[in-house]
Amino acid sequence: MKWFKGRFKYAFSGLRYAICDKSIALQMLFGLLVILFGLLLSFTIQEWFWILLCIVLVVVGEIINSCIEQLVDYISLEHTKQAKQIKDMAAGAVFLLSLFSVFIGFAILIQKII
C-alpha cells in the first residue's frame, strides 16, 4: 500500500512542477476560460466530454513538450540541428492538439450561437 501511495505523491509533485511552467499554466488558464464559457452556455454532457477531452489533451501535450525540452537541454547545452528538430517536433505536436481543440470548440460554439 505504501508503494501505491508513493505513486500518487510523485504524480502530484509532477503536477506542481507543471503548474509552475509558464506555457502549461497558460494552457490551463485557457482551459479554465473555456470551462467558464461552458457554464454560461449550458453545455450538454456530450459537449462537456469533448471540451474536457480537448483541455486535457492540450495540457498533457504541453507537459510532454516541456519534459522533452528540458530533457534535450539536460542532455546537451549545445544548440544542434538535431536538438532543434526534437524540440520543434514536440511543439508541433502541441500545435496539432491545439488546432484540433479549436476546431472542436468552434463546432460546439457555432451550434450554441445558431
Q: Which of 18, 27, 58, 62 is catalytic?
A: 62
Dist. CA 77–CA 71, nearest whole Å: 10
Contact 100, 61 (CB under 8 A): no
The answer to whether 73 is annotated as binding is no
Phi, psi of 78 (to 5 degrees): -70, 145
Is 78 annotated as ligand-binding?
A: no
Does 88 carry a binding-site annotation? yes
Judge whether 78 counts as a catalytic residue.
Answer: no
* 51, 34 contact by CB (below 8 A): yes
Q: Which of 53, 58, 63, 79 is nearest to 22 (CA)?
A: 63
Residues annotated within the binding site for a divalent metal cation are 69
Q: Mark the binding-site residues for substrate, compressed into ranges.
A: 62
Q: Which residues are known catalytic residues?
A: 62
